[in-house]
Structure 1
């Protein structure tokens, strides 16, 4: 079962097409067989939280907290690695900070 802080490989259907691709994503939480994740990209020009090869990524990447989506648990193919507690705290603090400004 995916856990918060896991970086997983999941099948994703993009909003601008019906195409489904395998992509890495960061698990934010899992509930009722659905997994809420943040997208990860190797496009370093995108804004987000850096994720390095040293931390476990295949390539230096960016966690995109502006790209959050829900996938069925069966779409998650495997866990790639788990963020360190320090990195997980950084990501979740940043997410909380972004959500505070919505109210």
Structure 2
């Protein structure tokens, strides 16, 4: 996988272990607008890549940045877009452009 890049974070090279797919994350928006996902795929990637899982999970922003980096690679490999993650991507781009603090209700991004 290509390095994961984010304007406010270091670039890291990650390895996606055999048998781990982006869909395994089960990314969703909760009713309150927070992001939820299954942690196990991220844990497996961190272990395979020598990345500290606590750093990835230190904040919602860092976890979402990591997920969006993986998502870009997912799309580059020809996989279909996922609507919830497209909403997250639009929100992250708006936050980067306007300085943060933007959160869309589920399905409106």
TM-score (norm 1): 0.28
- Which structure carries more helix by proportion? 2
- Which structure carries more strand by proportion? 1
Higher relative contact order (CA 8 A, sep 6+): 1
TM-score (norm 2): 0.27
